[in-house]
Structure 1
Amino acid sequence: MRRVRHTVNGGPEVLFVEDVPAPDPGPGELLVRVEAIGVSLPGVRRVRSGSGPQPLGGEVAGVVTALGPGTIDAGFAPGDRVTGICFGHGYAEQALLRTALASRVPDGATAEDAVALVRSGLVARGALDAAGLGAGESVLVTGAASGVGQLAVPLAKLLGAGRVVAAAGSPAKAAFLRALGADEVISYGRESWGEPVDVVVDAVGGGLLPRLVAALAPGGRLVAYSSGGGTVQAHDLLAGGKSLIGFQMARLARTRAADYTAWRDELWALRAAGRLRPAIHARVPLAEAAEAHAIIERRENLGKVVLVP
């Protein structure tokens, strides 16, 4: 089978395709014939900043072809269509999924739908929950055209937000973001972002973080879910009784399994009802994974970038 790896850190140009034997599923694992792979900014950053070669993991979706020892009672069988997070080699024609992190893809949904909706949607849903979003409150979503952001915008509306502001790096994304349901669209370079908001869901971090805190109304909450870093002065939080909250998907899955399952089912139900539609920006062949990473690095995407083996 084919899989993509990288030789050293430094950029998308170090990605390469290699031919290797298919892996054998171990205890509690499923072997999946991969049909779609979600490309994310954290995955791209790992290639850029990693200390050396490492597996390229992430969201995968496909068909179960074999079960590892101890999976008989896990409720999966060969032929099942599943999706989940692969922490090993996910950029591959066949990948291993832990049963605890796998879930079925409903009838009528594609593998591309699955990698665009499930993990990104859970991050968006979990971040809004962490913010304690109340009915009628206002929300600012940064990285609004990203895989997570494009779902956070409509989800905020569905959860009762009175005003949703979408922030993006390019004015060219405005029409896309308004189509998602954003009431306002702003660019990061604008001097003023308008009226303060109650909640910020942030995918950017870094030097933008202080401006996002300043954009909060008194009592506002900023939820950071990216790996972009950044520093905030304690005084800037204390002065307005503001909060800065870190959100991590892996911790949610470990500590709030019931919410994880309920929100996943909710996302699929919203999609089935036509109320939530993940956008696919590009379908890129597996062998051209470097181009998929480049799209993310150039911040060109309107929605999810998907690799197709």
Structure 2
Amino acid sequence: MQAIVMTGTGGPEVLVAREVPRPRPAAGEILIRAAAIPVLYPETQLRAGAFPMATPPPVIFGFQAAGEVVEVGAGIAADLVGRRVVVSTDGSGSYAEFVCAPAQNATLIPDEVSAEDAAAAIMSGSIALTLLNTAKLTGSETVVVEAAATGVGSYLIQLAREFGAARVIATAGGPAKIEHARALGADLVIDHRNEGWTDELAERAPGTVDVVFDSIGGTSAAALLPAMTPGSGRMLSYGWLSGAPAQVSAAELIPGGLTLTACAGPAWQQRADGARTDILARVPALASPVETTLPLDQAARGHELVESRRPLGKVILRPAATA
């Protein structure tokens, strides 16, 4: 079968198409024929060496795939064969025509949802649902969604009102993403590429922001505190597109009675995993999550696109066997 092997850490060129043996499911595993493989932003960071790989290279790369179950290992019900699922691997192996994964990491795809849309939505959408549940919105609150045109942010905009937001302020980078955030439902969009965007937000919503969904991190997090509602404002920090987590101290939070919740770690991820079935059920009512579909052997190009941050939707790899 064809697979993409990460030959070392570095640029996208370390992802190389090779012919490798088809895997067999061990006890507790399933084997799927992959139809759609999402290129995830965290994967680009792992490939570049920002974080250690669970299995050092050379290794078949990738963490998620959607497709049809073709074989099950010992202890797994045979009636799963023929069902469509999205799977998460234990750290490698999804950039391939056939993918093995623990059966407990599989989520059934509803009949009305394509494999491509399921693969594109499951990670970002499940995180967005978990963030909204954590925020405990009241029905009258203003929220700020950072980096709102793509990924988790795009789902936060679309779902925020259902979960109790009265007003949605978004940030996005550049005209195309600003327009897309508006189309997704944001009431106000601020360009976070502009110097002083945090001051602009504080001026346009002084002391009235109840929740900040913070994916940028860095020094901008503290700069947003003056915009937050005294006594009840809360920041949910789940990313650091700036390159560093939110640089906020207790001394900065305490005077305003504000809180910061770290949305990360194994317990957090377990909660997000539990939202996967829920987000797949919602996919037909949401904006199409897929922007670009590439052949599996163009995985390096997929990484280039994701790292450029230009796409408004997900980049999906499609094995030749399902093209």
Instruction: Say yes or no: TM over 0.5.
Output: yes
Match of 1:192 among 196, 200, 210: 200
Q: 1:145·1:301 contact (CA, 8 Å) conserved in 2?
A: no
Q: CA RMSD in A?
A: 2.2
CA distance in 1, matches of 2:17, 2:268: 33
1:208 to 215, 220, 228: 220
Q: Which residue of 1 aligns with 2:36?
A: 36
Residue type of the alignment partner of 1:292: G
**Is 2:260 aligned against 1:244?**
yes
Specify the SS of the correspondent of 1:200.
Answer: strand
Change (3 A) 1:50 1:2: farther
Distance 2:228 2:304 in 1: 33
Q: Is the 8 A contact 1:66 1:78 kept in 2?
A: yes
Structure 1 CA distance for aligned equivalents of residues 228 and 148 of structure 2: 17
Could you say if the C-alpha distance between residues 8 and 214 of structure 1 is closer, same or farther in structure 2, counting changes exceeding 3 Å? farther
Q: C-alpha distance in 1, partners of 2:119/2:282?
A: 16
CA distance change for structure 1 residues 59 and 216 in 2, over 3 Å: closer, same or farther? farther
3-state secondary structure, aligned to 1:281: strand
Check the 8 A contact 1:150/1:303 in 2, yes or no.
no
C-alpha distance in structure 2 between counterparts of 1:9 and 1:207, whole Å: 29
Deviation for aligned residue 1:236:
1.4
**Rounded Cα–Cα distance in structure 1 between residues aligned with 2:313 and 2:209:** 24
Please state how far the C-alpha of 1:142 moved relative to its aligned partner: 1.4
Q: Verify: 1:71 aligned to 2:79, yes or no.
A: no
Q: TM-score, normalised by structure 2?
A: 0.86
- Aligned letter for 2:188? E
**Residue matched to 1:283:** 293
CA contact (8 A) 2:69 2:81 kept: yes
Q: 1:58 to 1:217 in 2, by over 3 A?
A: farther
Alignment of 1:121-136 (within 5 A): 121-136=125-140
In the TM superposition, 1:1-309 aligns within 5 A as 1-48=1-48, 49-50=50-51, 53=57, 55-72=60-77, 76-87=79-90, 88-188=92-192, 189=194, 190=197, 191-193=199-201, 194-195=204-205, 196-218=208-230, 219-226=232-239, 228-230=243-245, 231-248=247-264, 250-252=266-268, 254=270, 256=271, 261=274, 263-272=275-284, 274=285, 276-309=286-319
State the aligned residue count: 301
Q: TM-score, normalised by structure 1?
A: 0.89
Structure 1 residue ranges (4+ consecutive) displaced by more than 6 angstroms after TM superposition: none
Secondary structure in 1 aligned to 2:24? Answer: coil
List per-residue Cα deviations over 1:174-222 (Å, max 9, x = no partner).
2211111111111112341121411111222234332344443222111
Shift, 1:69, TM fit: 1.0
SS of the residue 1:217 aligns to: coil
3-state DSSP of counterpart to 2:302: helix
